[in-house]
Each structure stands twice: as structure tokens, then as C-alpha cells.
Amino acid sequence: MQIYKPFISLLFVTFLLTGCEERSTVYTSFCDHGKAFSLSCLRYPMVDSQDKTVLEKALGLKEDPACPYSLKLTKYKISQCNNPVVKSTGSDFEGYVRLEIIKGFTCYYKVQSDYKLDRDRAFKRVLKQAKIDLIEKK
């Protein structure tokens, strides 16, 4: 019986830790009815310098002020919402990270991931999916 105690303890800890892992889906779409488009340049207006550096590295596109395509990054936390219905019912997630590529007011690509505890991990999931959709599928 003494031999089984460490095994059972290890099994129990493993079960607890896997239950705490954040598993969030990444939602992605090309806004123009699923049609992919070629992206050779990008602007990063209203993106802070740290996120801009990470985005440029992940997508492999340095900022081009003359580019018609711009990237919109949204990191939203529900606690910033003042809607009493949302606050009273709670939520399965704490916020979301969304990346959109637009030309003027027209959406070309959108990717989003919700998060419960780790916004940075959601940002990494969004970047990974954007890189697959925009760079690797060319």
C-alpha cells in the first residue's frame, strides 16, 4: 500500500494541474467571404511600441506609413464593462484579444481569442494563428 501513495498523489496533482490549464479557442476569419488576400505591407496605428515590436516580428512586416492596410489590436477586459447585466451574470472568460486588418473601414482579416486568466497567452495564440493564416499559407 505504501508504494501506491506516491503514485496516487502524483496522479491527483496531475489531474488538478490539467484542470487549471487555460484552453481557449482561437476564432479566425477572412472578412470577405473567406477569401485570402496577399499582405505585403502593414501600418500599426494606435498600437503601443512593445506590442508593435512583437507584431512586426511575428508577421514579418515592418511598418509602412504609405500602406493602405492597417492593423487594429484590441485587448479587452470585461471588468472595464459597466453593464449591470454582464456584471451580475458573470462570464466564462475575463476578456479577449482581437487583431483585425482593415483597409479604410473594410475588414479583411480578423482573429480573436478569449482568455480567463492569462491575456499574454491569448495574445500569443492570436499571433500564432495570424502568422499561419497570413504568412505561412501564402
Q: Where are the domains of the chain?
A: 24-136
pLDDT of residue 77: 84
Q: Which three cell numbers stand for residue 81?
A: 464593462
Give the dihedral sign, CA 34/40/46/50.
Answer: positive
pLDDT of residue 3: 59
Q: Locate cell 484579444: which residue?
A: 97
Residues of the chain falling short of pLDDT 70: 1-24, 33-37, 80-92, 137-138
**The model's pTM:** 0.70
Phi, psi of 106 (to 5 degrees): -100, 125
pLDDT of residue 124: 93
Q: Is 63 helix (H, G, I), strand (E, B) or coil?
A: strand
Strands (E), the chain: 26-30, 69-77, 95-103, 106-115
